[in-house]
Chain A
């Protein structure tokens, strides 16, 4: 619980803008910062120590694992299991699966609530929705109805909203996390892929950054007015540079640094990780990746390093955000999918 208290202090007093699992360095006390990397064509999940960029643990026995989330107290890792259509609960110390919780359908990505009491699981199988898992009873207690089946589920940085995107429905579905009732829904013109958030000085959600099917870039949705206010296309590649034809959507995976000043955006098509300044959305530059596929990204708590999942080359690129250089590549399992940053007990 100590970690949670420190986390709240940081967000409320400094007004920094944190993405879902971007924790302050102050949270590291008593815990181990780890990058959790799922492997969707594998049967294992890799645990990476960002201090050494080495794999320090492997969770086994989960085929076609998709999303991962770490409990705020660091005791558990939750993993969506596409092969069994379950949410698998992993003991963070032993890295063993302790429970498999049946879901209402085939899952995609997941998010854990700020207080750790709920895990939200995006259900991609029709009719879709967001399964709500009670982490005390380890039961699937309800399914939040959505407009279209769900690819990725999130909790806003202030913990007040659950946000779920639908590729097929082309919608952003927002729920009040307290009441678990629909708050609002936004129709987009393209399928909704990954999202991330930044915050106002008071910690409330300012914008949702939304990646869209087939679009090499992202849209910006103003949370207060519930309208798209901008759409940013990633740069074109210089002549002679080859695009990457497959691996994920053209632009898939984003994160906001802990200081709220930088948005990093994966471009599978260009094989780059781009950085944009916030809130002015100016391109700061890009890191050309040695791995291929760029399908997801997570950040270290200090916002200095990005970990990019490369599903084509089965590795993770480590990018120094200040210099926008790839500084390491870490071999992981087959077709790395999602990754997340957490502090394990």
Chain B
């Protein structure tokens, strides 16, 4: 783990400086193979929030007096370890609100574990659009909100219900996280290495590395998707330009997944500073591309091991223990073992409710639609029992088998496939269901029944 650094607010006032690609008189040295030298350990500790707070609408800059006042307030908060760890944007928002004490239900530590954060005149890291706000589409905002909600779920059933961050799968590319939480501060350490034909961008958290070729090779085929996408770099003068595509549909960077198209620009504007600009585009998530400017400061430190790995026993035991307790309680009530009644990751769902309320939905005929049963008795991952000849519904034994099968797609509660797959995307559903979208609104009575079942 990284050594805990003193919580000190930088004292110097940073005046606005052009972001990457703009004029800079400073000329970087060269690596032996002639690349502008970006190597070293760099830190993003900007206190500026990703989005401009509503309270500062219309103002891209703070006055120097305001910056000084914000530093003072931050110093007061950070000096008292009874305040909670303020990740990402939280510190700026706390001082903007001028709170006497900072508490967050998501924090597991105090301010003594924070590193210094630098306040400057900017009111948002987003430099375009000019309002400093993310230009969400409705669907994109909904996905983002769902990811935020998943990160705060009180009793997730299985690891699939947790975010990629909590599962230690990836903190994502680019490093923005939720409300900048995995970007700035103690999670903001980068190591840049350069070799002939390559640049390596390594993040201390969570030991993720991007090896970026500079030789102009084409991107991977579209069918190959990666957590960190597929990056290709080139030099434009002294600026390293990295274009990244081929993101995984399982990723989630501010609501975006496989459609994300990312262009990053790294320009060393001083011996101890890189201006790091990133432009994110995804028409399914944002109405237009948006651009963020971050100032990376060189640190005379080394990266440390970051102890976050998929399947961490402590994380899984702790986070999932609530659902396991609920299952055991349900098993005690019904007299079953709990293990045999359902898959270990299944929620304690109500069989009678399923049989009497949910199952009829699979048989219902909606105008113009094929019935669920018409597809789901063969050839699909969710496999319902075929009706017996002459029957119009399932018998008890068949219903039990259906119950077991449907439970598997009910995992994740309100984020489950059962709820998202047949629901129109604009109503919060996923992108495509080969059986069509059966409900245009979450208000539909049938969808409400499904929701009631998975959330009971």
A interface list, Cβ under 8 A from B: 40-44, 63-64, 82-83, 106, 124-125, 214-216, 233, 236-237, 239-243, 245-247, 250, 269-270, 293, 311-312, 314, 333-335
Contacts and interface: CB of A to CB of B under 8 A. Distances in A.
Interface in B257-285: 257-259, 261, 263, 281-284
B368 interface: yes
Contact of A293 (B221, B379, B432): B432
Nearest to B263: A239
B173 to A, nearest CB: 16
B374 A242 contact: no
Contacts of B434: 40-41, 311, 335
Given A82-B375, A243-B258, A334 B368 contact: yes
Interface string B435-446: 111000000000
Interface centre among B218, B222, B245, B369 (most CB of A within 10 A): B222
B261 A242 contact: yes
Nearest to B422: A41
B370 interface: yes
B221 A216 contact: yes
Given A236-B219, A245-B249, A335 B281 contact: no
A243 B259 contact: yes
A82 B283 CA distance: 35
B289 interface: yes
B261 A312 contact: no
B118 interface: no
B281 A106 contact: no
Interface in B92-116: none
Contacts of A236: 218-219, 222
B307 to A, nearest CB: 34
Contacts of A311: 432, 434
B243 interface: yes
Contacts, number: 94
Contacts of B356: none
Interface string B272-310: 000000000111100001000000000000000000000
Contacts of A250: 222-223
A82 B369 CA distance: 14
A241 B258 CA distance: 12
Contacts of A42: 368-370, 436
B371 interface: yes
Contact of B289 (A237, A240, A334): A240
Nearest to A44: B368
9 contacts: A41-B433, A41-B434, A41-B435, A106-B379, A125-B378, A239-B281, A242-B283, A269-B222, A334-B368
A215 B223 contact: yes
B374 A83 contact: yes
B368 A245 contact: no
B33 to A, nearest CB: 27
B284 A242 contact: yes
A239 B242 CA distance: 12
A179 B289 CA distance: 60
Contact of A243 (B222, B289, B368, B371): B222
Contacts of B365: 43
B431 interface: yes
Nearest to B246: A243
A82 B377 CA distance: 11
Given A63-B370, A125-B378, A239-B245, 7 more contacts: A41-B370, A41-B435, A42-B368, A239-B243, A239-B281, A245-B431, A269-B222
Interface in B114-171: none
Nearest to A81: B374
A335 B436 contact: yes
A269 B259 CA distance: 11
Contacts of B371: 63, 83
A312 B375 contact: no
Interface string B198-231: 0000000000000000000011011100000000
Tell me which of A106, A293, A333, A334 has the highest count of chain B C-beta atoms within 10 A of its own C-beta: A334
Contacts of B259: 242-243, 245
Contact of A41 (B222, B243, B436): B436
Contacts of A334: 368-370, 436-437
A274 to B, nearest CB: 14
B421 to A, nearest CB: 11
A236 B263 CA distance: 17
Given A82-B375, A214-B223, A242-B282, A335 B261 contact: no
A43 B243 CA distance: 45
Given A106-B379, A246-B431, A82 B249 contact: no
B326 to A, nearest CB: 33
B221 A64 contact: no
A243 B221 CA distance: 12
A104 B4 CA distance: 70
Nearest to B284: A242
A125 B378 CA distance: 9
A86 to B, nearest CB: 13
Contacts of A41: 369-370, 375, 433-436
Nearest to A83: B374
Contacts of B283: 242
B223 A216 contact: yes
Given A245-B259, A335-B434, A240 B222 contact: no
A42 B189 CA distance: 53
